[in-house]
């Protein structure tokens, strides 16, 4: 590596942030270790503080795996373990942020409560009604009937349709994405956004700062807004400080058009998602198009986030669509329920929906996920379903995007395989789709991975389908993709060296902190 390349690498935003965090760790830990080596009473004070931290962790109502992942390092390193937990443990919010988060939740309820209709859906059956009522009560997200959906098994297929729908916009376009990367996909979208902005269409963009850490400069939002005139916001600007709040990322993916048309799924606005750039083999992703009343719920999700990051008030009634597209009438007998998950409200909506669907299964559960880093609750549900005779199949990548996370995913294989779960690795490349389909009756397409970050730390969104024709398309996609997969056997897991198995066991314990 020559001097120019080395200099360019060292001054990348992600490298600088990593170095600043490392420096902060040294500043925090070195004095603590130095003092403890000279003063015995300081050491014992630290031990007492670590013991108190353990008691606090045990008393919290949270995932058992998360508790264990914190308790072990605190007990191993009592001198500074309590300090790290004080800085990074839990989901602490300042009074100001708490008020803002409560405002988002309150606004969701105010704007969507009039659409709540789960109690009126008794012909669906009690299980479906209860699921819909749960999301209405805890996620503030109604179930809708007059909505048409279309499932896309690849980013390559959704890309031209998204551009086509964006060109139809008459009133507004709202985009909220975790990753934005300059290239064919994003540049094509920006071209349309500028045309629509010039024609008087209201265009707004939100992206996550960590998601774009390696793809956009720190001041990209200001540059973009100045260059195009389009309001652009960054969610939770990443700062090189050790804080749990830096873990709370906006992982949602929403493309909203005029309040009646919306896209979501695993697709970000970058070329690898449409296989124009090859990074980890073939990129297998998915998306769903929603047309009709349910798109308004997704619009409110975006607008509450816009109020949060922009600190402005939104006039919701003026943005609600007065007329629905013709396709909406085609979904008259289908049930569509978009929902969002907030990591700071102590209600793991994303995990609970997955648990409910797994527990409802009588014939099969098919899951696509890029990461299989499941909580104890989800692991138990999957194993119980398989042991009860339900056909449980989970599809994961064969080509990793992150080597450590890939090892962590594989570390969860053995107990699932022993219970009879079928695990399939997508041989051509990387699976980024987040789909669950159950018994031809239920399906979820969204942004929620089967991992701790999606379940407990990120802002997420998804669409729950019931008795919708797209459910069979999601199932057909899984079965077709399965033909390109390598089945993983229990023998393959046991054949690994004891050192590899030990490494994976350690990873499993610390999974909630990765």
pLDDT in tens, 431-481: 999 999 999 999 999 999 999 889 888 999 999 999 899 999 999 999 999
Dihedral sign for Cα 259, 261, 265, 267, please: negative
Domains 95-336 and 349-513 share a fold: yes
What tokens does 404 get? 């450590």
What DSSP letter does each residue of 312-352 carry, written as one string?
----HHHHS-SS--GGGGGGTT-EEEEEEE-TTSS--HHHH
List CB contacts of 259: < 8 A, sequence separation 6 or more.
171, 172, 295, 296, 299, 319, 320, 321
What tokens does 446 get? 């969204």
Largest CA distance in the chain: 76
CATH H-level, domain 349-513: superfamily:
Endonuclease Chain A (3.30.870.10)
Higher pLDDT pick, 13 / 372 = 372
Average pLDDT over residues 416-421: 96
Cα–Cα dist 363/342, whole Å: 31
pLDDT digits 0-9 by tens, 21-44: 565 556 555 655 555 555 566 667
| Domain 95-336: CATH architecture, name and number where available | 2-Layer Sandwich (3.30)
Give exposure, 361-379, as e/b (b: 16+ Cβ within 10 Å): beebbbbbbbbbbbbebbb
Dihedral sign for Cα 352, 353, 354, 356, please: positive
Q: Which helix (H) or strand (E) holds 290?
A: strand 287-292
Higher pLDDT pick, 394 / 12 = 394
Q: Which helix (H) or strand (E) holds 354?
A: helix 349-360
Higher pLDDT pick, 286 / 242 = 286
Cα–Cα dist 381/66, whole Å: 18
Cα–Cα dist 78/35, whole Å: 14
Residue 323: pLDDT over 60: yes
Distances (CA, A) of 127 to 130, 131, 306, 360, 441: 5, 6, 34, 8, 11
> 3-class DSSP state for residue 450?
strand
pTM of the model: 0.88
Cα–Cα dist 249/177, whole Å: 11
Residue 91: pLDDT over 70: no
> 3-class DSSP state for residue 26?
helix
Residue 501: pLDDT over 70: yes
DSSP state of 123: G
Cα–Cα dist 164/460, whole Å: 26
Average pLDDT, the chain: 86
Cα–Cα dist 175/196, whole Å: 14
Higher pLDDT pick, 325 / 189 = 189
Average pLDDT over residues 134-150: 93
Domains in the chain: boundaries:
3-88, 95-336, 349-513
List CB contacts of 433: < 8 A, sequence separation 6 or more.
265, 266, 284, 285, 286, 368, 369, 370, 445
């Amino acid at each position: 590596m020559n001097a120019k390349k080395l200099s360019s690498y060292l001054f990348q935003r992600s490298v600088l942030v990593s170095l600043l965090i490392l420096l902060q760790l040294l500043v925090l830990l070195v004095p603590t270790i130095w003092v403890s080596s000279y003063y015995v009473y300081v050491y014992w004070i630290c031990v007492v503080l670590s013991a108190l931290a353990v008691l606090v962790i045990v008393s919290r109502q949270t995932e058992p795996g998360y508790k264990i992942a914190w308790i072990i390092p605190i007990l191993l390193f009592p001198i500074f373990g309590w300090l790290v937990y004080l800085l990074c443990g839990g989901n602490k919010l300042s009074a100001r942020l708490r008020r803002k988060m409560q405002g988002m939740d309150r606004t969701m309820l105010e704007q969507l409560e009039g659409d709540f209709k789960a109690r009126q859906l008794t012909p669906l059956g009690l299980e479906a009604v209860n699921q819909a009522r749960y999301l209405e009560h805890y996620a503030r997200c109604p179930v809708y009937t007059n909505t048409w959906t279309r499932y896309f098994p690849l980013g390559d297929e959704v890309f031209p349709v998204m551009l086509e729908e964006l060109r139809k916009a008459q009133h507004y376009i709202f985009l909220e994405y975790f990753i934005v990367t300059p290239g064919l996909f994003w540049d094509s979208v920006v071209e349309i956004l500028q045309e629509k902005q010039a024609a008087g269409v209201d265009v707004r963009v939100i992206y996550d700062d960590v998601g774009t850490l390696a793809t956009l400069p720190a001041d990209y939002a200001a540059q973009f807004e100045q260059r195009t005139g389009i309001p652009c916001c960054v969610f939770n600007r990443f700062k090189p400080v050790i804080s749990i709040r830096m873990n709370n990322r906006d992982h949602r993916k929403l493309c909203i058009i005029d309040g009646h048309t919306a896209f979501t799924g695993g697709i970000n606005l970058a070329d690898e998602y449409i296989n124009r750039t090859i990074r980890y083999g073939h990129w297998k992703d998915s998306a769903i198009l929603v047309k009709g009343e349910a798109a308004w719920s997704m619009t409110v999700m975006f607008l509450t986030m816009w109020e949060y990051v922009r600190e402005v008030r939104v006039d919701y009634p003026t943005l609600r669509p007065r007329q629905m597209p013709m396709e909406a009438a085609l979904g008259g007998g289908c049930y569509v329920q978009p929902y969002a998950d907030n990591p700071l409200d102590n209600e793991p909506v994303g995990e609970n929906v997955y648990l409910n669907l797994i527990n409802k299964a009588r014939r099969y559960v098919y899951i696509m996920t890029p990461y299989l880093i499941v909580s104890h609750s989800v692991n138990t549900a999957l194993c119980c379903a398989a042991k009860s005779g339900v056909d449980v199949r989970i599809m994961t990548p064969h080509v990793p995007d992150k080597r450590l996370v890939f090892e962590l995913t594989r570390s969860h294989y053995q107990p699932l395989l022993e219970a009879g779960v079928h695990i399939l690795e997508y041989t051509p490349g990387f699976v980024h789709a987040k789909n669950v389909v159950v018994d031809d009756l239920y399906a979820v397409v969204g942004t929620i991975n089967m991992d701790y970050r999606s379940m407990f730390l990120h802002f997420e969104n998804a669409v729950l389908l019931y008795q919708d024709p797209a459910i069979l398309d999601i199932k057909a996609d899984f079965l077709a993709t399965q033909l390109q997969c390598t089945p993983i056997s229990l023998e393959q897991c046991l054949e690994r060296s004891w050192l590899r198995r030990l490494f994976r066991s350690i990873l499993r314990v610390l999974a909630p902190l990765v």
